[in-house]
Amino acid sequence: MVRIRMKRMGRRHAPTYRVAAVDGRATRDGRVIEELGHYNPSAKNEAQRFVINAERIAYWLSKGAQPSDTVRTLLKAMDKAKAAVK
């Protein structure tokens, strides 16, 4: 099963994460199928904190990919932020 989850990058005590489509059996930082965006929790600008390719996320979800709990929470927060701006 394909999962959409985060891959830890960056240095010690200053993590950044890449959102990626991976095989569910792969390790956290293992081989990815496709990079879908990134998440930088320490970014000052809210727009730069969570950046994703929404079209590719929708594609993988339509193919049956399951987002991790953290990615699901971030996607919901992003949708709420977009709704508040409109």
CA gap 41, 50 in Å, rounded: 8
C-alpha to C-alpha distances, 77 to 9, 19, 33, 82, nearest whole angstrom? 22, 15, 25, 9
> What's this model's pTM, rounded to 2 decimal places?
0.86
Tell me: pLDDT of 17 over 90. yes
Amino acid 12 reads R
Write the Ramachandran bin of 77: left for phi over 0, alpha for psi from -120 to 50, otherwise beta. Answer: alpha
CATH topology of domain 2-85: S16 Ribosomal Protein; Chain: A; (3.30.1320)
For the stretch 49-78, pLDDT in tens is: 999 999 999 999 999 999 999 999 999 988
CA gap 3, 66 in Å, rounded: 5
The length of the chain, given as a count of residues: 86
Work out the pLDDT band at 86, boundaries 50, 70, 90. Answer: low
